[in-house]
A and B are shown apart, each in its own frame.
Chain A
Amino acid sequence: MFGDFTANKNIDFDIKPGEIHALLGENGAGKSTLVKMLYGSLQPTSGSIRIDGDEVEITSPGKARALGIGMVFQHFSLFEALSVAENIALSLAEDISVSEVARRASEYSERYGLPLNPEAIIGDLSVGERQRVEIVRCLLQEPKLLILDEPTSVLTPQEAENLFKTLNQLKSEGRSILFISHRLEEVRTHCDRATILRFGEVIASCDPREETAASLANMMVGSTVRNVDRSSRNVSSDVVLELNRLSLSAQTQFSVPLSEINLKVHAGEIVGVAGIAGNGQSELFEAICGERISIKSDSVSIGGERVGKLGINKRRKLGAAFIPEERNGHGAIAAFKLSDNMLLARHASDDQKFQKGGRLRLIWQDMIQSATSRVSEAMDVRKSGVNPYAASLSGGNLQKFIVGRELDRSPSLLVVNQPSWGVDAGAAQRIRQALIDLAAAGSAVLVLSQDLDEILEISDRIAVLFDGHLSEPLNAETASREDIGLLMAGVGMATGEAKHVA
């Protein structure tokens, strides 16, 4: 198979049969545009795509599948309320009965070592299981080219290894794999070739095995990647945040219950909570910040005060600040101006500054506006106009604003979920540095992140969240990637151990 390929940004590249080809690039480098064109969701305005030497027009995803292109999305395109077999049936061109699809799916899942139950409802499955459904769904169509968009970002290191076994088996059958990632290490170890995109153009094409992670990173970012500056910090013995046997029942069938979580975060330190998506991160965040109230008041303490039964604003008034994972619709509202987004999180903690008129609770626009400008300047938020709508900011700039909004209060405790999710490298670096600076100034910082590299980069101690259980924190300087990876897979956790013994 041979693919020659010119996209709207003059992209030329080719994928050979039987190779694992990495597509590297930062957020916004044009990876997803390229992939969408290959999968028929977008049409190139000029240029051509050839498969096996024949020029093709990929007008729709259905056409792409007919041409032998399969795609595993980063954010899965599965239907939660439907069964595995029904999900697979939907993507097949022919009208085959669901039971026949189930039979075939079982056959493929066995052949490629991807265990699956065709009757299961997607909503009940873990992230790793869902990915297997996506892959089996593609394989059923015998694709010549399989595209995987950041497949390992939701897997433990061990699960990722298993995925690569499957990919190598596919490769040996002569299929091509386009592997999109920003994890340089795995690209170096597992991929045959790499194409690097920046600003929508091909920057380089290389054999990743002959490159170092640093040289690949330089090609991706275009300049030497600045590491965050971790000057020494003094961790004090004052406990700022204490979780004491924090438990929370699951609210919906898709959420994870928290069980007996213990943790102390001291002034001046950053504690990282690693874990794969869907192991209770949002639930833990909600319990700490008070969006969900606990049954026992001593399950969460901030600055020595028992706050388990207090709402989010009472906790903020004790000096805590919170940054949720989702920017749009949680940490900020896209249809609101920046100043209103400022008010959103700080109307209670800064009621003296932002409100006037006593019981009337009038909004003091001038003060909010000046705080908005101050934050934008401090965090280098690029925006059009003085007070634009949040929707007009890029993800990275909005996240910088949200982080800056909380830092502006000089909180004694900052709890942040996924600080640099979906932002460009520059903004991510800036945000991480801000967290480190906050800790250096004597505040306690708790970071929940699915990005293990990020956790390793900034944390003093690292705990792992698995299925609603939190491990004992490890010292970041002595903990190895493998240890953490095992914990992320549930091996060696309180519950995991019990299962092992049994």
Chain B
Amino acid sequence: MGFIEAVLLTIVTAATPLLIAALGELVTERSGVLNLGVEGMMIMGAIAGFAFALMSGNPYVGVIAGVGFGALFSLLFAFLTVTLVTNQVATGLALTILGLGISGLWGEAFVGVPGVKLLPIEIPLLSEIPLIGKLLFAQDIIFYCSIVLLFGVSCFLFKSRMGLTLRAVGDNHTSAHALGISVSRVRYLAVMFGGACSGLAGAYMSLVYTTQWIENMTAGRGWIALALVVFASWRPNRVLIGAYLFGAVGIAQLHIQALGFKIPSQFLSALPYLATIIVLVIISRNRRLTIINTPASLGKGFVPDR
């Protein structure tokens, strides 16, 4: 395996969880709900994935558990913000704090325990293609999922009736309600889809990215996924670009050090966070673009007039 191939492979590994979590959050936000708890749902997916894979010895059980726990955990958020109409920003923070707490408690027994690795599935023939073969067709199931999700979310949002309904709810919940659309049902489902995606992204962290449990192992990736949605101005295809861009920044530190540059490791570790800030600034500068694309009822609770 050449150097370039190795670099590209690490980019894919770093980008996949960002892509999945951001796509899920994109759907949630398109329905008008801002769930800042991505970090918390991801870490829940990571611990659940790790624990269930270890207990069953089967990494696929871990994947399913990650998705399930992510969705279940987001249900808590949905109940508060949709049914009880609590402040979405504060509730999202609560979800993150709680997720980090629960995962820390649950994971204590697993610190230092080697986990189960989710192995790649080589697709015959296609994986033989030079350079991209190994990159795209000899990956694990979660990577394939991320690609399917990308096209699935695009089609769902812009080609299906349900996607249209979801966008309508995110644009104007009062009008949607007047048309007889159940705003709360759409939002519950959208939040849970986001939770399931975050859970899957978390499971990737503990089953593929590093096959062990480390407290706070998502290390802000949930927040970066949130920034990616803004970066992508709520368009799935741009999430793909953003995720791989950030993946590249994120792994830059590994390779820069490998190449022998004498830059303190902390500075390199700070790169993804600094890049997030810079990207947010560049995107937000164009206010017109942001205003047009932001779902109009994003972050606003809805209480029907009877």
Q: Point out residues on A near B: beta carbons under 8 Å.
A: 40-42, 60-63, 65, 73, 76-82, 86, 89-91, 95, 98, 252-253
Question: Distance (Å) between the CB of A478 and the closest chain B CB?
Answer: 43
Q: What is the bound-complex CA distance between A62 and B174, given in angstroms? A: 15
Question: Distance (Å) between the CB of B163 and the closest chain A CB?
Answer: 10
Question: Distance (Å) between the CB of A465 and the closest chain B CB?
Answer: 24
Closest to A96 in B: B161
Q: What is the bound-complex CA distance between A435 and B165, given in angstroms? A: 47
Q: Are A77 and B174 in contact (CB under 8 A)?
A: yes
Q: From known contacts A42-B306, A77-B179, A81-B296, infer whether A89 and B172 are also in contact, taking CB-CB under 8 Å.
A: no
Q: From known contacts A82-B171, A252-B291, infer whether A89 and B178 are also in contact, taking CB-CB under 8 Å.
A: no
Q: Please name 28 pairs of A and B residues whose Cβ atoms are closer than 8 Å in the assembled complex, sorted by A.
A: A41-B178, A42-B306, A61-B180, A62-B179, A73-B178, A76-B175, A77-B172, A77-B174, A77-B178, A77-B179, A78-B172, A78-B175, A79-B168, A79-B171, A79-B172, A79-B175, A80-B296, A81-B171, A81-B292, A81-B295, A81-B296, A86-B164, A86-B168, A89-B161, A90-B181, A91-B179, A252-B288, A253-B288
Q: What is the bound-complex CA distance between A253 and B288, given in angstroms? A: 7
Q: Are A90 and B168 in contact (CB under 8 A)?
A: yes
In the complex, which range does the number of interface residues on chain B fall in? Answer: 20 to 34
Q: What is the bound-complex CA distance between A217 and B168, given in angstroms? A: 40
Q: Which residues of B contact A89 (CB under 8 A)?
A: 161, 164
- Further 8 A-B residue pairs, CB within 8 A, beyond A61-B180, A62-B180, A79-B167: A42-B306, A77-B172, A77-B179, A79-B172, A79-B175, A90-B164, A90-B179, A95-B161
CB interface residues, B 147-205, toward A, < 8 Å: 161, 164-165, 167-168, 171-172, 174-176, 178-181
Q: What is the bound-complex CA distance between A91 and B164, given in angstroms? A: 11
Q: What is the bound-complex CA distance between A98 and B291, given in angstroms? A: 25
CB interface residues, B 257-297, toward A, < 8 Å: 288, 291-292, 295-296
Question: Distance (Å) between the CB of B54 and the closest chain A CB?
Answer: 45
Q: What is the bound-complex CA distance between A89 and B164, given in angstroms? A: 9
Q: Which residues of A contact B295 (CB under 8 A)?
A: 81
Question: Distance (Å) between the CB of A67 and the closest chain B CB?
Answer: 13
Q: Is the interface of B mostly helix, strand, loop or mixed?
A: helix
Most buried by A among B180, B291, B295: B180
Q: From known contacts A95-B161, A253-B292, infer whether A81 and B178 are also in contact, taking CB-CB under 8 Å.
A: no
Closest to A64 in B: B180
Give which listed residue, A62, A65, A73, A82, contacts B167 with CB less than 8 A.
A82
Q: What is the bound-complex CA distance between A82 and B296, given in angstroms? A: 11
- Beta-carbon contacts of B39-64 to A below 8 Å, as 1s and 0s? 00000000000000000000000000
Give which listed residue, B164, B165, B172, B181, contacts A80 with CB less than 8 A.
B172
Question: Distance (Å) between the CB of A53 and the closest chain B CB?
Answer: 25
Question: Distance (Å) between the CB of B173 and the closest chain A CB?
Answer: 10
Most buried by A among B176, B178, B296: B178
Q: Which residues of A contact B172 (CB under 8 A)?
A: 77-80
Q: What is the bound-complex CA distance between A91 and B174, given in angstroms? A: 14
**Chain A to chain B: the 6 pairs with minimum beta-carbon distance, closest first:** A77-B175, A62-B180, A61-B180, A79-B171, A77-B178, A81-B171
Q: Point out residues on B near A: beta carbons under 8 Å.
A: 161, 164-165, 167-168, 171-172, 174-176, 178-181, 288, 291-292, 295-296, 306
Q: What is the bound-complex CA distance between A17 and B49, given in angstroms? A: 64
Closest to B170 in A: A81
Q: What is the bound-complex CA distance between A61 and B180, given in angstroms? A: 5
Q: Is the interface of A mostly helix, strand, loop or mixed?
A: loop
Question: Distance (Å) between the CB of B306 and the closest chain A CB?
Answer: 7
Q: What is the bound-complex CA distance between A78 and B168, given in angstroms? A: 9
Closest to A71 in B: B178
Q: What is the bound-complex CA distance between A79 and B161, given in angstroms? A: 15
Q: What is the bound-complex CA distance between A90 and B168, given in angstroms? A: 8
Q: Which residues of B contact A42 (CB under 8 A)?
A: 306
Question: Distance (Å) between the CB of B201 and the closest chain A CB?
Answer: 28
Q: From known contacts A42-B306, A61-B178, A89-B164, infer whether A80 and B171 are also in contact, taking CB-CB under 8 Å.
A: yes
Closest to A91 in B: B179
Q: Are B178 and A60 in contact (CB under 8 A)?
A: no
Q: Which residues of B contact A91 (CB under 8 A)?
A: 179
Q: What is the bound-complex CA distance between A286 and B38, given in angstroms? A: 40
Q: From known contacts A79-B168, A90-B168, infer whether A60 and B306 are also in contact, taking CB-CB under 8 Å.
A: no
Question: Distance (Å) between the CB of B45 and the closest chain A CB?
Answer: 31
Question: Distance (Å) between the CB of B150 and the closest chain A CB?
Answer: 22
Closest to B294 in A: A81
Q: What is the bound-complex CA distance between A63 and B180, given in angstroms? A: 9
Q: Are A61 and B179 in contact (CB under 8 A)?
A: yes
Q: Which residues of A contact B181 (CB under 8 A)?
A: 90
Question: Distance (Å) between the CB of B125 and the closest chain A CB?
Answer: 37
Q: From known contacts A61-B179, A81-B171, infer whether A253 and B291 are also in contact, taking CB-CB under 8 Å.
A: yes
Q: Are B167 and A81 in contact (CB under 8 A)?
A: yes
Q: Which residues of A contact B296 (CB under 8 A)?
A: 80-81
Closest to B178 in A: A77
Q: What is the bound-complex CA distance between A80 and B293, given in angstroms? A: 11
Q: Which residues of A contact B175 (CB under 8 A)?
A: 76-79
Q: What is the bound-complex CA distance between A82 and B181, given in angstroms? A: 16
Q: What is the bound-complex CA distance between A78 and B172, given in angstroms? A: 8
Question: Distance (Å) between the CB of B181 and the closest chain A CB?
Answer: 8
Closest to A43 in B: B306
Q: What is the bound-complex CA distance between A94 and B4, given in angstroms? A: 52
Q: Which residues of B contact A80 (CB under 8 A)?
A: 171-172, 296
Question: Distance (Å) between the CB of A254 and the closest chain B CB?
Answer: 9
Q: Which residues of B contact A90 (CB under 8 A)?
A: 164-165, 168, 179, 181
Question: Distance (Å) between the CB of B102 and the closest chain A CB?
Answer: 35
Most buried by A among B164, B288, B296: B164
Q: Which residues of A contact B178 (CB under 8 A)?
A: 41, 61, 73, 77
Closest to A59 in B: B180
Q: What is the bound-complex CA distance between A41 and B305, given in angstroms? A: 9
Q: Which residues of B contact A79 (CB under 8 A)?
A: 167-168, 171-172, 175-176
Question: Distance (Å) between the CB of B286 and the closest chain A CB?
Answer: 12
Q: What is the bound-complex CA distance between A81 and B164, given in angstroms? A: 11
Q: Which residues of A contact B161 (CB under 8 A)?
A: 89, 95
Most buried by B among A73, A77, A79, A82: A79
Q: Which residues of B contact A95 (CB under 8 A)?
A: 161
Most buried by A among B179, B181, B295: B179
Q: What is the bound-complex CA distance between A41 and B295, given in angstroms? A: 25
Question: Distance (Å) between the CB of A232 and the closest chain B CB?
Answer: 46
Closest to B291 in A: A252
Question: Distance (Å) between the CB of A147 and the closest chain B CB?
Answer: 13
Closest to B162 in A: A95
Q: What is the bound-complex CA distance between A98 and B167, given in angstroms? A: 14
Closest to A63 in B: B180
Question: Distance (Å) between the CB of B135 and the closest chain A CB?
Answer: 37
Question: Distance (Å) between the CB of A121 and the closest chain B CB?
Answer: 9
Q: What is the bound-complex CA distance between A3 and B6, given in angstroms? A: 75
Question: Distance (Å) between the CB of A66 and the closest chain B CB?
Answer: 10
Q: Which residues of B contact A63 (CB under 8 A)?
A: 180
Closest to B169 in A: A79
Q: Which residues of A contact B171 (CB under 8 A)?
A: 79-82
